[in-house]
Structure 1
């Protein structure tokens, strides 16, 4: 049995085919690997779900990294550099191990992250654009450490960026700036702005499901 570095929940599709597609789910700060499963349950039936747990305990849940607040408080926060690097590496190693363990198709892997998980997902997409077929980033932003990256393979990459117009944790402007940057470097960006705060409402969920269904159908 392949050892997967990060604790996780794996939900296999009912009709499991050889070399099947998958989505790796990354939760937000203070949550855990169970948090986004209600969202993932709405995704296409033929998709493996691998929901990863962040490495560090926090307030009854877990966190991907500590916050660097030196830029002016929560609304201008950035990931702590060392913690962020460690989590990016752990996610990458866990993806590789899960592909082997669960027989996933390495050409059909998606990322779905919320808040810290969205920030992590966007950075992973820039570091290894050929590794991930599509990305969903909800209520996150693009970390300064990755803001200037313009890698080969990002052109045409489907990226969904969702934000809340009333989000006081990660303001919509930060998510919009991430979408703008991915537009600039040639990704195929889908944007969603929703009236709620720092959470996933019904319309946002519906738009995410439609986006993922479209991506999976195009891969078949």
Structure 2
């Protein structure tokens, strides 16, 4: 396993070649770890590199990308703690650059797949630098206040799959829908769906995200 700034799991394409291959970079949710979303990642096309990153800070039995800023109210008004959030996004960018060099990844064909905190981080990374990422899958997340007014060049027509849970009590669908609306306003190619269930990835959502990724790398 090559050294990256963040601990990770790397899964190579089933049929490796000397040519750089596309990749999906996976960002887990709060309190989980780099293995949490591997069942989802393994179901994606087998010509992808999978680089599943571990968040930098410990949280009980898992890890977190940032602490929560609850100054706006309760959980449903929470925001990422600014310093933690900036640091984590920088570590993700550095880890992607290192993975490109270490694993023979096509730097022009890197997608992000995030759940919850990982989705919030993924959407924000896309707005930080749209040209770095080919597409984004953001599951059960929202767009933080730090990025709500960001309007970078390069976001037009960028494929973005955003999913919410109709019964999600951690990140209500309304917060996720607001993120989808913002990306649509910016001109991204948004696919937004509210699925049955709570704060998790159900079968219909799983099937839909696989379809989305397959279309991006066809």
TM, length-normalised to structure 1 = 0.97
Change (3 A) 1:2 1:38: closer
Question: Partners of 1:70 and 1:169 in 2: how far apart?
Answer: 17
Partner residue in 2 for 1:11: 11
Aligned residue runs from structure 1 range 168-183, under 5 A: 168-183=169-184
Q: Is the 8 A contact 1:27 1:53 kept in 2?
A: yes
Partner residue in 2 for 1:22: 23
How far the C-alpha of 1:98 sits from its partner, in A, is: 0.4
Superimposed CA distance per residue, residues 90-133 of structure 1 (whole angstroms, 9 cap, x where no aligned partner): 00000000000001000000000000000000000001100000
> What number of residue pairs does the alignment pair up?
217
How far the C-alpha of 1:3 sits from its partner, in A, is: 3.3
Superimposed CA distance per residue, residues 126-158 of structure 1 (whole angstroms, 9 cap, x where no aligned partner): 011000000000000001001101101000000
Q: Which runs of 5+ in 1 are unaligned?
A: none
Question: Partners of 1:206 and 1:192 in 2: how far apart?
Answer: 12
Question: Partners of 1:160 and 1:76 in 2: how far apart?
Answer: 23
- Partner of 1:46, secondary structure, is coil
Superposition RMSD in Å = 0.9
Is 2:102 aligned against 1:91? Answer: no
Partner residue in 1 for 2:106: 105
How far the C-alpha of 1:59 sits from its partner, in A, is: 1.3
Question: Partners of 2:43 and 2:72 in 1: how far apart?
Answer: 37
Question: Partners of 1:216 and 1:178 in 2: how far apart?
Answer: 24
TM, length-normalised to structure 2 = 0.98
Partner residue in 2 for 1:35: 36
